[in-house]
Amino acid sequence: MNARTLFAASIRLLSAAALAAGLALPAHAQGYPARTVHLVVPFPPGGSTDIVARAFGEELQKRLGQPFVVENRPGASGSIGIGSVARAAADGYTLLVTSNTLVTTPALNRKLPYDVLKDFAPVSLVADMPIALAAVPSLPGANLAEAIAHIKSHPGKYNYGSAGIGAPQHLTTEYLRALAGIDIIHVPLQGQGPMINEMLGDRVHLSFLVLSTAKPHFERGSLRSLGVAGAQRSPLAPGEPTIAEGGVTGFAVSWWQGLLAPAGTPAEVVQLLEREIREIGRQPAFHARLVELGLDFVGSTPAEFGRAIENDLKLWTRIADDAGLVAK
């Protein structure tokens, strides 16, 4: 019996028992949602996480009959919005939609006012964001292995860009640097837009970019791809080899978008939201919409998402420690 069937069967049994006893089911089991649900996004409007939250919020509102309102609470590398959900009532009416900033921020800052593993109930890892290692055309090397060999022979000459200290590009490239044994200089910039502009001006040589953002540049030849970062090739660019295939053994990184609730949220609410996310993502038109946004739908279970969070937190913490990036 699958999760959806089991959930539905459980609700039917509970309903029958309650009716037989002349009792009403608790609101979180039968009547949720009974009012507006707030989807907190810890970033400004217009970014990929905001777009994902609004897209799923619209569908959840249609299916569950109550408003799902996006609230942008940016600041402090996402920790302001994330922390506000950690402190919210565990009733399912305040939820968090976030990227893997959820795990990169505590890898760098060990003094946050919340505990990622204790203060949240994972609902679903909604989607992966395939990323690629982009290089300027002037960097020698016909492929990743040749580019790495050239960088190794010129230590300290080349650089890589990020959207800021502690941004996913920063930690991801530090991971690559450690595994490949290359000496490259970090150039933190104020967001991905300025970083791409610096690459187009040949002032920044390498950076990890969301594949959907990078693909037009690859097609025009203004940038070139040295490989995708995931464990498998991306459906968005099946001809692009992974970085591990290119010679950096063991390298595999996933940037993702996920939905979480405060710890202690009733299991019935978490299960309902997880089921709805899975059903929404499987709709052909909606799935196509995600592909256009450069996302691979996942729709994991809460347990699967919890394991992903734990594993990613360990990975990024180790990378931050090894690179000496931990905030004092």
pLDDT of residue 202: 97
| pLDDT value of residue 112 | 93
Asked whether this chain's domains 32-127+254-323 and 131-228 adopt the same fold, the reply is yes
The residues spanned by each domain of the chain are 32-127+254-323, 131-228
pLDDT for 30 equals 64
Helices assigned H by DSSP within the chain: 3-21, 27-30, 48-64, 79-86, 101-108, 144-152, 168-180, 192-200, 211-220, 267-281, 284-292, 302-323
Architecture of domain 32-127+254-323: 3-Layer(aba) Sandwich (3.40)
Sheet holding 159-162, edge to edge: 185-188, 159-162, 206-210, 131-135, 224-228
Structure tokens at 199: 């690459």
Closest CA to 182 of 253, 248, 227: 248
Taking the model in full, what pTM does it have? Answer: 0.79
Q: Residue 14: what pLDDT?
A: 40
Query: What confidence score (pLDDT) does residue 188 get?
Result: 87
CATH class in words for 131-228: alpha beta
Length of the chain: 328
What is the chain's pLDDT, residue by residue, as a tens digit (328 residues)? 443 343 344 444 444 443 333 333 344 346 999 999 999 999 888 878 898 999 999 999 999 999 999 999 988 878 999 999 999 999 999 999 999 989 988 998 889 999 999 999 999 999 999 999 999 999 999 999 999 999 999 999 999 998 777 778 889 999 999 999 999 999 988 777 788 899 999 999 999 998 888 889 999 999 999 999 999 998 888 899 999 999 999 999 989 999 999 999 999 999 999 999 999 999 999 999 998 888 889 999 999 999 999 999 999 999 899 888 886 6
